[in-house]
Structure 1
């Protein structure tokens, strides 16, 4: 599917997008299903059964903070923009054999600006025309932190790592926040295992006598990780794999750029011994 075809789809669902006065967007189930290249009945069933027996899609939404009861109302009221993003990510990477190439392409198209901004743009919403409440105007540092949170969410990073990225982003915009930021990062570190406690495939291989390639293949076959089309994030954990692995930050070789890698708790080596 080409970028032109995606643009045509976006234009076709224009009338099924709403943006309220505050800039928050909603999309119909039909529009969301069209974006993800799935039947709208699949999404509707996930919403209807969320309170009793949540599907994997419903579980993904609930994990993002959406209430199961709220999901049932979306059939009539529309799906919030951030929930649309979660649904697209699910069908792009987490739906197993139901993953859709189109959903991945749409995710990549949205990740640079965010789906809310796209909804605002396609509906012609203009922030400058809205009544300004001085108590709610976001500072540049606040906006930088929100952008980091959004990117972290799309990238599937752990919440603690995403929080650290948000703190770093706010501090870069406003250096005066550094003392408070350092205290916040220390508090986050105290509630989460240190990144150094996690092993990469090479380290796991050294412990069990296998190559890093063999380790990655085993992790895929065991249903703990899956391969993506993103060279910067070639592997991501499955829902099962999130019990053992997490995305951690690292400095790329030959540069000072921060990259993210999927690493694993040392206990994962015991699984290799159990399921050889």
Structure 2
């Protein structure tokens, strides 16, 4: 039997400990076609043409059936200088009003898929794009795309504190309040990886130990409350329970 391990790439972190066990219960999956998003955030590839897309505002994960949209491009990804300018031009906005939120490489075609927000604030709209080996940038339409979706149980509050000694600095968690040029970024769902039939998800929850790691079997049925993650921050000299795991690398 293979076991899945994680290297948690945490800047200035000296140690990590998990507390508690995954709890039963959670949100049941829904399904349909032509999905909509409030804030397209983290991406991860799954099996058989599935792309997992996190909504940082709704705190949900959608499994998009994109086998048809993944076909037809030139294999690979061509390097494009000033790609933010090229994407902004394609979408008809100034580059300063474009926020690229994530990108992942299709393990089969080596095309790159990019999630972005066209505009800023309440009027921003989510966009998914593909870049192929010829340098073609294409907007992927969600029209008639089949999907399944799960909401993360017990989503975090609007803010969590950054505790520095006696000081508590409020940090926004949701994209409608986060400064896109700020240090912390969106913290509701921070990273995803799919391996051995399961989607691993990091982010925050509304609990005393807010940092969470969830393991969600796919196809989606339901989501458990997950496992809390407590991090010892070497520079701060303290245990921190409100700091999410921003990135991790699964391997077997």
Choose between structure 1 and 2: higher helix proportion: 1
Larger Rg: 1
Higher relative contact order (CA 8 A, sep 6+): 2
TM-score for the superposition, normalised by structure 2: 0.24
Higher strand share: 2
